[in-house]
Amino acid sequence: VQLQASGGGLVQPGHSLRVSCASPGVALNLLAVTWFRQAAGKKREGVSYISPHDATTWYANSVKGRFTISRDSAKNTVSLQMINMKPEDTAVYYCAAANMNPSYATWAEEKSYDYWGQGTLVTVSS
């Protein structure tokens, strides 16, 4: 399974950006998908999760109310819409997918995921 993250770029504080994860040849709606991010000098952290089938979503406290994860089955993508962005959102964003659906206790742990994309850089700066 190859995951391809795209959509990163430079955005001003308070503005919006959308990053997407695609997987040619594999139906992403069969996999649990999570967006992680890693800022310079920091550990990778789970940002947002979407379950297979019923599209349950979970979010890190730092992004609740600002980020929305969603699936587009027609395009076979999982996107992360980010609004009211802050400088602390600056990071490389990675999408990850799992064959086994993680629990609420483990969705933000890297070891829960089997497949990873290459990352896309998001910079929030004026």
> pLDDT tens-digit profile of 31-57?
999 999 999 999 999 999 999 987 899
Report DSSP letters for 44-76, one per residue. -EEEEEE-TTT--EEE-TTTTTTEEEEEETTTT
Q: What is the DSSP letter of 65?
A: T
pLDDT for residue 93: 98
> pLDDT tens-digit profile of 81-116?
999 999 999 999 999 999 999 999 999 999 999 999
Residue 1: is its pLDDT beyond 90? no
Residues, the chain: 126
The owner of tokens 């920091």 is 42
> pLDDT tens-digit profile of 13-34?
999 999 999 998 789 999 999 9
> What token pair was written down for 55?
């599209």
SS3 for 88? helix
Largest Cα span, the chain: 40
